Amino acid sequence: MGAAIDELCFVTAFDGRVLWVSQSVQRHTGYTIAEFQVSPRDNPIVHPDDAARVGEAIERFAASGLERSAPYENRVYDRWGVERTYRTEILRTQACGEPALLFVCRPRPDEPTAGAEIEVSFRALVEQAHDPILRLAADGKFLYFSPQFPLLLGRTPMELAGKGLADFAVDPDAVREALARGGSFSLEIFDKSGGHHLCEASISPLGDGQIIAVVRDVSAARRREDELRQAQKMEAIGRLAGGVAHDFNNMLGVIRTYVDLLTRQRKADTKLVDDLAQIGLATERAARLTSQLLAFSRRQVLAPTVVDLGDIAQNMATMLRQLIGPDIELRVNARACGAVRADRGQLEQVVLNLVVNSRDAMPRGGAIDIDVTEVALPEGAFARLSVVDQGTGMTDVEVTRAAEPFFTTRMKGTGLGLSTVHGIVHQSGGHLALDSKPGTGTRVDVFLPIVEGTSKREPQSAAPVLTASRPAVILLVEDERLVRESVHRLLEDLGYTVVAAESPGEALGHCRESDDAIDLMLTDFAMPGMNGLELSTKIRKLRPTCRILMMSGYAASSDSAAAAGVMFLPKPFSVDALAEAVRSALDG
């Protein structure tokens, strides 16, 4: 029966409970039967200016002895926020074994119907649009909204009835001014859960003071733009840091070279050798600082070696104390521990990131403890690096997301620190554990497998000083004068004959003009006009038997050399490292 009824009809108990609704309700209002089952006394689809009058009419009829009420008019909002006027009559009836009220609602006879088909087509088109489309009255109240708008606000259409755009704006006055001014404007709106959405609205005037507004949620796009800007800023800083570190590496290489030369020449002078050893130690520490800069710029040459976590923590202590400031105490406890296999620069980055995170979690000061020890796990022996702070801590939800890229619990920061640590540790065959509670601080444990056969704090034996395995002529190509001269001295001291060139052009000119044999070309990678790989290709055409050894401080250079089948020597290097690399290149 309900399907054949054209009017909008529904039955309620005297206490307002909806007992039955005709199927025509969806055709009239766009709401389903289930959505419409709200008492007419407080139904939010009823126009707010008519709600009190409708309630009084229902109460008067229920208290009277009449079987049928006089018709009364009431306005309602359909699912799309369009205002409709109905003439309603109430009849007494029985339903579900109790007295009830039957409401029969008919569209007002003079309700305009012209263009109904066009309106249906328009509505179908608008409802498929990605961005919410609104029709607003002169006072900013909703006359229509496409389904995407309630979804954006996390509300039902009935919760928007009788309201306007300004009612959901963080700054209502600014929205009202913008609607009166016209054009496009930005606004921030809040949804039902309290979340904020940054939107762009474009408005166009209609007749009778009405407005069409197209609202676009640009929150996600703005976040991506901010992340891109941050990434670009970090990339620019990384390039600067990498460039500075590269040049500094060259100077450290020069210092290290002459320290090695003097040490070899003055072995008998014990006091001088001790002084030179101190210079060498300072140079080594400076080289580690440049390695950290290159790690930050992601340009360091990755070289997994057997390293001691305790040594890394102890060697970084002075630099870390300067970094965290005087309000925070840094305590380092590095106990005897087997060695692990990883890239030293990356492990230094792990320690640095964890300490910086702890510092940022303690704005009022406190203490950070770094502890290194050996532990036995079911998988075997592991070195454990622990960083413990007394900071604000994290909730369980924040702990589960802590290693996600760009996730941060602070207003500042990129959210990349712990995600970088996570990647480095897993790349090195280890794993990460995090324990934190709000108000009690955070503990991060890094577990790395111990290399089998390494003893605890076994002192490294001094590598033998190498000399030339056989006479050879080496073409040295390096545009930095101090580096070129120092490497020249080292190679000659090792027993090789050296031809030095300050540019790729000079090196090519020598090969074309001279018939002298060249056994090996040792070239820098980054040089003006032509890089080391391009030079190698040209040299091999002129001297097919010439071996190639490339040197650089950039990771990309190492990758390029490996792809081209060229041996690589990372800067800065010691005399022993140079001797071993040259010997391997000549013998290979």
35 and 44 in contact (C-beta within 8 Å)? no
Geometric angle at alpha carbon 417, from 415 and 423, rounded to 5°: 115
pLDDT at 445: 92
CA angle 431-432-434, nearest 5°? Answer: 160
Q: What separation, in Å, do the N-terminal and C-terminal C-alpha atoms of the chain show?
A: 95
C-beta separation of 128 from 37 below 8 A: no
What does the block give as tokens for 221? 């796009």
Of 531, 523, 350, residue with least CA distance to 423: 350
> Residue 34: helix, strand or coil by DSSP?
helix
Q: Give pLDDT tens digits along the chain (588 positions).
A: 444 567 888 888 888 888 888 888 877 777 777 777 766 555 657 777 888 888 888 888 988 888 899 888 888 877 666 778 888 999 998 888 888 899 888 887 765 543 444 455 556 666 677 788 888 888 888 888 888 888 888 888 878 888 888 889 889 898 888 888 888 888 888 888 888 888 988 888 876 678 888 888 888 888 888 777 776 776 676 666 666 666 777 777 777 777 777 777 776 677 777 777 777 766 766 666 666 555 555 555 556 778 888 888 888 887 788 778 888 899 999 888 888 988 777 788 788 888 888 888 888 888 999 999 999 998 889 999 999 998 888 777 676 655 444 344 454 443 345 766 777 787 788 888 888 888 888 889 999 999 876 655 443 433 444 555 578 999 999 988 888 888 898 888 888 999 999 999 999 999 999 888 899 999 998 888 898 899 999 998 999 999 999 988 765 566 677 777 788 888 777 777 888 889 888 887
pLDDT computed for residue 182 by the predictor: 81
Report the pLDDT value the prediction gives residue 238, as an integer from 0 to 100.
61
| pTM (whole model) above 0.75 | no
Nearest Cα to 8, choosing from 23, 17, 18?
Answer: 23
Report which secondary-structure segment, H or E, holds 179: helix 172-181
Residues near 48 by beta carbon (within 8 Å), at least 6 away in sequence: 161, 162
Tally Cβ neighbours within 10 Å of residue 255: 18
Q: Which residues of 65-91 are buried (b: 16+ CB within 10 A; e: fewer)?
A: eeeebeebebbbbbbbbbbbebbbbbb
In this prediction, residue 558 carries a pLDDT of 67
Predicted pLDDT of residue 557: 65
Q: What whole-number distance in Å separates Cα of residue 337 and Cα of residue 373?
A: 6
Which whole-number Å values give the CA distances from 49 to 75, 94, 202, 521, in the listed order?
9, 31, 29, 91
Burial of 287 (0-12, 13-18, 19+ CB in 10 A): buried
